[in-house]
Amino acid sequence: MRGRRLYLDGVSVVFDGFRALNNLALVVEPGEMRAVIGPNGAGKTTMMDVITGKTRPTAGIVTFGDLDLTRMDEAAIANLGIGRKFQKPTVFDALTVFENLELALKAPRGPIACLRWVLAGGGRTRIEEVTTEIGLTDRAHDRAGILSHGQKQWLEIGMMLMQDPDLMLVDEPVAGMTDAETEHTAKLLARIAGKHSVVVVEHDLDFVRALGCKVTVLHEGTLLSEGSIDHVQNDPRVVEVYLGR
């Protein structure tokens, strides 16, 4: 088991008086897979923004191992080994699938290092492995801009794999995917977990059930319930939030 423990406690984010996160606590152990669910506006994406340095918390503790993430910028946090897949897939349209993966490949990130960069055999093999893993082998030299929505989702997952992060934050990985693709994604994520910590935000409860991991339910920026999928589905507070009173 490698990696560090992700620890959030008392985290609040206030935007112009609106509490996007309210005294949120979350612990993800190294190698753990965690699903985060909750209705729209529950604060799932804001939580990821806080972990990855996009949003500074108004209050609270966010640490990864013994490192304080609230003092770092996005690039530094990414280099610590926290990868993120966005809800809306953002790949680099003007570059090919191969080039997108090459940019994500773990390597020195400075301008001079990039100018002098030569893709060695190991890196090429890794890119080819990931290209196969995400099923885009025959599209490797097509521009990412012409991929379908589902393929862009895959490419973005692939880019996250290339970074080889200790912790992966995956925001709605199966939005817009077919059932077969959804199933493939669940298997892929299950395979990744164990080696890496994975936090998956998802609306699709069947998908969450397929992941078979501990589930955290957020509501109005705070922790509502935590436990197995059966536990949270039978929690009266969760039922109330999801089904109304």
Partner 1 sequence: MDTAQPSRARLGLRAVMITAVAILAIFPLLNQLPADNVFHVSDFLVSVSGKWICYAILALSLDLAWGYAGILSLGHGAFFALGGYAMGMHLMRLIGPRGSYGHPVLPDFMVFLGYQELPWYWLGFNHFSFAMLMVVAIPGLLALVLGWLCFRSRITGVYLSIITQAMTYALMLAFFRNDMGLGGNNGFTDFKELLGMPLNTGAARISLFYASLIALVASYLFCLWITGTKYGRVLTAIRDAESRVRFLGYNTTSHKLFAFVASAMMAGIAGALYVPQVGIINPGEFSPGNSIEAVIWVAVGGRGTLVGAVIGAFSVNGLKTWLTSAAPDLWLFVLGGLFVAVTLFLPKGLVGLLQGRAK
User: Minimal CA–CA distance to 22: which of 208, 214, 221?
Assistant: 221
For the segment 127-166, give every residue that binds partner 1 (CB under 8 A).
141-143, 159, 163
Looking at the DSSP assignment, which residues form a beta bridge with residue 143?
96
Tokens representing residue 119 in the block: 């893709």
Smallest distance, partner 1 to C-beta of residue 168, A: 12
Out of 29, 30, 65, 92, point to the residue binding partner 1 (CB under 8 A): 92
- Count of residues in the chain: 245
Residue 120 in contact with partner 1, rule: CB under 8 A: no
Out of 2, 27, 67, 79, point to the residue binding partner 1 (CB under 8 A): 79
Q: At what angle do helices 97-104 and 121-133 cross, to 10 degrees?
A: 120
Residue 117 in contact with partner 1, rule: CB under 8 A: yes
Residue 168 in contact with partner 1, rule: CB under 8 A: no
Which range in 35-43, 88-96, 171-179, 222-230 contacts partner 1 by CB under 8 A?
88-96
| C-alpha to C-alpha distance for 97 and 139, rounded to whole angstroms | 7
Smallest distance, partner 1 to C-beta of residue 114, A: 4
| C-alpha to C-alpha distance for 123 and 131, rounded to whole angstroms | 12
Tokens representing residue 32 in the block: 């753990």
For the segment 196-235, give every residue that binds partner 1 (CB under 8 A).
none
In the complex with partner 1, the residue whose CB is nearer, 52 or 185, is 52
| C-alpha to C-alpha distance for 12 and 131, rounded to whole angstroms | 39
Out of 9, 68, 93, 230, point to the residue binding partner 1 (CB under 8 A): 93
| C-alpha to C-alpha distance for 215 and 233, rounded to whole angstroms | 10
CA distances from 110 to 32, 114, 164 (A): 32, 6, 18
Smallest distance, partner 1 to C-beta of residue 167, A: 13
Residue 27 in contact with partner 1, rule: CB under 8 A: no
In the complex with partner 1, the residue whose CB is nearer, 86 or 242, is 86
